[in-house]
């Protein structure tokens, strides 16, 4: 009858940003499976309005002496090269503002200078001005649509802008145009793209491909961390632990060693190895005694049935510390209410549940637990209202329907309603033996 404690789950991934009813994008093939189509590549997609850009060599030359014209072109080329070299030097000296100015001066002498356009785009990307970076990268694509490296850079920028469909399309173009698509940085970006989509199998394949291509990849620690999260979501707990433990001595920034221990504890908890989870969480608290989330998780373990360290008073103490460290966390208040329910301190449980729903009023589990509380103190009408609220929030929770059946069964005149509620709970969870 008591609403079960929700199992700690990894953060959900948002669905792909695609039109309603559309299928998720197909998997990008790994390098070993890349087949370069025969024949000329298709024209790059149309990105800008107006007439096509004409390369300088195709621009009709004005009338005049060919000697004078040739000298003019050589002078323009020298000016372009000089400004470009000055921009490179400014970059080496760390003067980004001057570098921008010098590269733009080079473009005044040759608007089609791919080196200058590339450097300006890269500077914008380094300063996280990704939209401007895309604009300059796109100018290069308009000149040379077969530049696979630039397509990959565009994909990275769109990824940082959370423009996932555009990033996917750019990465596809990069794979098509690169002479050798076995580029670790490209597949690192593709792995993150699939991770954002929630397509864990494809993300795992892409990240694993990066490590096969370059075992010493500069972001290998981040890849191992991401793989640890992916394996945790897939319930491959042994693989997840191996990945997390490999990053303990060199956590990816901005994470710390304590963050990795928290993930290790969470994996042990999901795998029902509660003693190892407790030890991992305590390791975090030795470094940060006021870590609110770890205090919450450790408090949960102390009132977990079946553990050899079951202690409700200790759980209450840890949860109170968690609330003191972060008063805005609704889950700690809810868990505190659960502890008070175990002690049959219903007034304190009610106060804790009220604090939980005040912070998160759209949580069906919270309202279900409030219904259980009202049922315990024989306030059946209030219990019905709480269960009804829970069902309006989540009509597919078998726990709520089961508890509602118990409530109806307690009212002798509503046996048929109780049967209907139990049947609904059974349909939602056929494996529930109760």
pLDDT of residue 404: 86
How far is the C-alpha of 70 from the C-alpha of 217, rounded, in Å? Answer: 47
pLDDT tens series, the chain, 434 aa: 444 333 434 333 333 434 434 445 555 544 444 333 343 334 344 443 433 433 444 445 555 556 666 777 888 888 888 999 998 999 899 898 999 899 999 999 899 999 999 999 999 999 999 999 999 999 999 999 999 999 999 999 999 999 999 999 999 999 999 998 889 999 999 999 999 999 999 999 999 999 999 999 999 999 999 999 999 999 999 999 999 999 999 999 999 999 999 999 999 999 999 999 999 999 999 999 999 999 999 999 999 888 899 999 999 999 999 999 999 999 999 999 999 999 999 999 999 999 999 999 999 999 999 999 999 999 999 999 999 999 999 988 888 888 888 888 887 678 888 888 888 888 888 776 55
Residue 306 pLDDT: 83
Q: Which long-range contacts (CB under 8 A, 24 or more apart) does 183-191 make?
A: 183/152, 183/213, 184/210, 184/213, 184/214, 184/217, 185/152, 186/152, 186/155, 187/30, 187/31, 187/213, 188/217, 188/219, 188/223, 189/152, 189/155, 189/156, 189/159, 190/28, 190/155, 191/223, 191/226
Question: pTM of this prediction?
Answer: 0.73
Nearest to 336 by CA among 316, 318, 354: 316
Residue 136's pLDDT is 95
* pLDDT attached to residue 143: 94
Q: Helix, strand, or coil here: 48?
A: coil
């Amino acid at each position: 009858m008591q609403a079960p404690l929700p199992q700690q789950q990894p953060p959900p991934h948002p669905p792909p940003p695609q039109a309603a009813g559309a299928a998720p994008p197909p998997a990008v093939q790994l390098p070993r499976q890349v087949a370069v189509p025969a024949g000329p590549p298709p024209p790059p997609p149309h990105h800008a309005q107006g007439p096509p850009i004409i390369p300088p060599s195709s621009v009709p030359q004005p009338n005049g002496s060919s000697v004078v014209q040739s000298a003019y072109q050589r002078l323009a080329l020298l000016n372009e090269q000089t400004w470009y070299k000055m921009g490179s030097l400014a970059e080496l000296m760390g003067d980004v503002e001057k570098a921008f100015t010098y590269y733009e001066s080079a473009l005044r002498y040759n608007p089609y200078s791919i080196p200058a356009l590339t450097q300006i785009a890269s500077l914008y990307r380094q300063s996280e001005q990704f939209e401007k970076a895309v604009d300059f990268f796109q100018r290069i694509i308009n000149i040379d649509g077969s530049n696979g490296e630039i397509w990959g850079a565009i994909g990275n920028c769109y990824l940082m802008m959370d423009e996932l469909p555009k990033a996917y399309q750019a990465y596809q173009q990069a794979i098509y145009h690169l002479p050798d698509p076995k580029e670790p940085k490209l597949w690192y970006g593709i792995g993150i793209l699939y991770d954002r989509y929630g397509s864990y199998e494809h993300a795992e394949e892409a990240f694993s491909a990066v490590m096969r291509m370059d075992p010493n990849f500069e972001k290998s620690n981040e890849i191992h961390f991401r793989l640890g999260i992916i394996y945790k979501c897939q319930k491959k707990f042994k693989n997840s632990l191996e990945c997390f433990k490999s990053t303990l001595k060199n956590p990816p920034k901005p994470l710390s060693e304590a963050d990795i221990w928290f993930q290790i504890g969470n994996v042990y908890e999901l795998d029902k190895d509660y003693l190892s989870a407790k030890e991992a969480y305590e390791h975090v608290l030795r470094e940060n005694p006021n870590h609110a989330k770890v205090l919450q998780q450790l408090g949960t373990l102390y009132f977990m049935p079946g553990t050899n360290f079951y202690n409700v008073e200790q759980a209450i103490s840890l949860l109170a510390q968690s609330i003191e460290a972060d008063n805005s966390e609704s889950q700690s208040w809810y868990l505190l209410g659960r502890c008070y329910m175990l002690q049959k301190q219903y007034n304190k449980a009610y106060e804790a549940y009220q604090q939980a729903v005040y912070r998160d009023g759209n949580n069906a589990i919270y309202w279900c637990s409030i219904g259980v509380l009202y049922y315990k103190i024989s306030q059946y009408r209030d219990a019905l209202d709480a269960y009804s609220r829970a069902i309006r929030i989540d009509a597919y929770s078998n726990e709520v329907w089961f508890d509602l059946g118990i409530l109806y069964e307690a009212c002798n005149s509503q046996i048929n309603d109780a049967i209907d509620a139990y049947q609904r709970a059974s349909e939602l969870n056929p494996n529930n033996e109760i």
